[in-house]
Structure 1
Amino acid sequence: MGNPSITIDAARVDNVTGHKNMLQLIQLRWIAVAGQFFTIGVVHFGFDIPLPIETMLAVLAALAVFNIASMVRWRSPKEVTNRRLFVALLVDVATLTAQLYLSGGASNPFIFLYLLQVNLGAVLLTPRATWTLVGISIACFGGLALYGRPLPLPLDQAGGLSSPYVQGMLICFALDVALLVIFITRIGGNLRERDARLASLRQRAAEEEHVVRMGLLASGAAHELGTPLATLAVILGDWRRMSPFMADRELLQELVEMQAQVQRCKTIVSGILLSAGEARGESSVKTTVCTFLDELVGEWRSTRPVRWFTYDNRFHEDLPMVSDSAVKQMVCNVLDNALEASPNWCSLEAMRKGGSLVITVTDTGPGFAPEMLGQFGKPYQSSKGRPGGGLGLFLSVNVARTIGGTVSAHNRTVGGAVVTISLPLAAFTLEEKKTYGR
């Protein structure tokens, strides 16, 4: 991914998933602590099978201390890497090996709990780390077969469920199956959620790259249009002073309208160049949020064939900001879509909600089709049926997302649509930026 912010977001998603998976291992370890404590008590006191109970409880206490330390570390913002997950599983394997060594070695029916650790490693770790864990588990099994302390546990498997060994194997099997299903399902859900979020980030990177390409094309076109527009302005100015136009009132009025439209085109071209970062030092103006909104709406109304428009600015704070052409164009795009869908009436309402400026644009048009709402803000999603349709909303969504805001839409029950723009004030107001940066 070329966008640094997208790369950082992807790394953050991986880290969040790593923390969730580490939490699953911590929860499993607490189950192991409780299960081992219960099993040691039942075997030693219930079946009267002698166990080195002090040593086994000491191993269990060490595992509990390690788990508490893991919980403290899990709450820190440190990255949960493949190495840390491997070490955590290695500690579980080592603890299981110590307990089996003290309670029968390879003849202990709970020897098959190694499979639980290996399966978790296959899901969580890289192939190299997984095979390393497999090799260590096999080595531990072999070591227990050679050096494990045998217990006076009858291996009479012909006795069926009455045999303590068969009972132990049944409990081990049930534990393996239950814990595998529970924790593999949870970890798999974490990994699927991570993949979905990464896919969303890749889609966002592709869309932003599309916006960049469009911006480069628009900037190049703006440069090319500058000269012919200037030429047209000079020619129209000369025509206006010619006697045929001065004598004909109707022609003169049309000429004035042509000059106004050429001037509007020049303003649009200047805005494109400004958004591209050219002449920004000359054109940036310090203003306030309230004034910025008033001027934006005033300019939009004067350059569009608006029949009836309701404007309700409830943002009464004098927060200083630098006039942002990208935000201005974004709001105008949404207003243009509302006006096209509802030529007779549309409205804009602005207010503050917490640390955000919320702008709501409402119209009485046909509303959005369900499939368009499902793909809202995607390029070329439009009901207008013309090439390039839907790019206005696409650009608006991406401009808002670039500064940490959102654009959402829904249909009104009485007809028409509502588009809501939410922008964090810290992203473009001077006072909020100072507060945000402390």
Structure 2
Amino acid sequence: MRTSTDGPPAAPLFKGIVNERESQLRLVTSVRLRWVAVLGQLAAIAAVTLLYGFPLNIGSCLMLIALSAWLNVFLSIRYPARYRLTTRFAFVLLAYDVLQLAALLYLTGGIQNPFAILMVAPITVASATLPPRYTVFLGSMVIVAGLVLIDHHHPLPWYNGTRFDLPRDYKIGALIALISSMAFMAFFTWRLNKESRQMSAALAATDMVLASEQRLHALDGLAAAAAHELGTPLSTIVLVSKELEYELGSDSRYREDLQLLHSQARRCREILQKLTRKPDEQDPMHASLSVVELLEEASAVHRAAGKRIIISASPLPGLDDEVRIEPVAHRRPGVIYGLGNLIENAVSFAQSEVQLSARWNGSHVFFTITDDGPGFAPEMMDSIGEPYITSRRYEENGEQGHSGLGLGLFIAKTLLERSGATVTFSNLTPPRRGANVQISWPRTAFELPPGAFNWPGRRGMPLNVA
């Protein structure tokens, strides 16, 4: 199946940002959750003994609760509040919470105690902050504890002279319900947390692209400053060379050297003038692109891949002569980058050919990128273009295990949409085979100069960001 081609893996991009030995659980969070548990357990014991007057092994229960309280006190003294727990340390603390709660349940009726559902809490925290294998191990501990608590436990606190004991089958059902709740909450929390991390990483990658553009703008500023500073000495060189040429006369043996010095100084001045040009003073040959030139520039670097790239452009039928004129867009690096990434994706998975076509009418401009590869995986069709959404490629292409990270398509789609385009992904209809990507602009947005388009609801945000 098909996946995006995003270049180098994204892992090195964030190398050093996250320490794999550290969990996402901070000490202060663990301590606060445990204080909540301590207060809740004390409240439950107070209600059972004071409000209902049920007999209870209160000494043992209070000792277990005090153990959690003293653990919190020790952790608060030993470590700073914002200390981030290592994965193993966080696992040990959560394992303690499971065992402490299991011991309390053992003293208060076992699995038939209605508070047995709280065994889900440590698993939920683990699924949000620890690698999956630790969550699975903690879940196994809960299951083992639940199996033990079915038959081995003190009586559930109840009215004097009466023993409350549910049938064994009911206890088994309660354990199954506990396991089901635990599995659902763990998976839901893990999935939600994973998507959140992936979106953060994707946005960080986009920020790096934008930061690169800002650095380029900074270099433009440095170039303008350098041009301004060098202008005066170059003018002096030109003036002095002219005076020397005049003083030495036309018969001087240094005349050719002075003329060369003069011409090179003038050339330097012309180069500096180009560097100090404003965006609206760029060379028209480079400041604007027709649709064919846009496709040619975006695909040029990918022709070395050995696949045939066919470019075609024509107006839609039935248009007036004035509308049939090929649209011309201003050069926008974000659009060129976005198209280039989509073309790279098509080239990577094409068998032999990629077709790039441009069509237009009076109101819209349409670009279509098709290839003769395996196409997009049907199950991924609704989520293509989201960060880290990928699928494996058909094995018949001989590249088993090849998969991208989804960041390339995400960034490309974001940049194109920011220019006012609508990007849609689909597969060709049988008997044709391959992927089809269509990018459409309102013609007014396509022909706008850089920086003229704003996001809906966001004024003043520049278009040229890539």
Structure 2 length normalisation: TM-score?
0.39
TM-score by length of 1: 0.41
Q: Which has the higher helix share?
A: 1
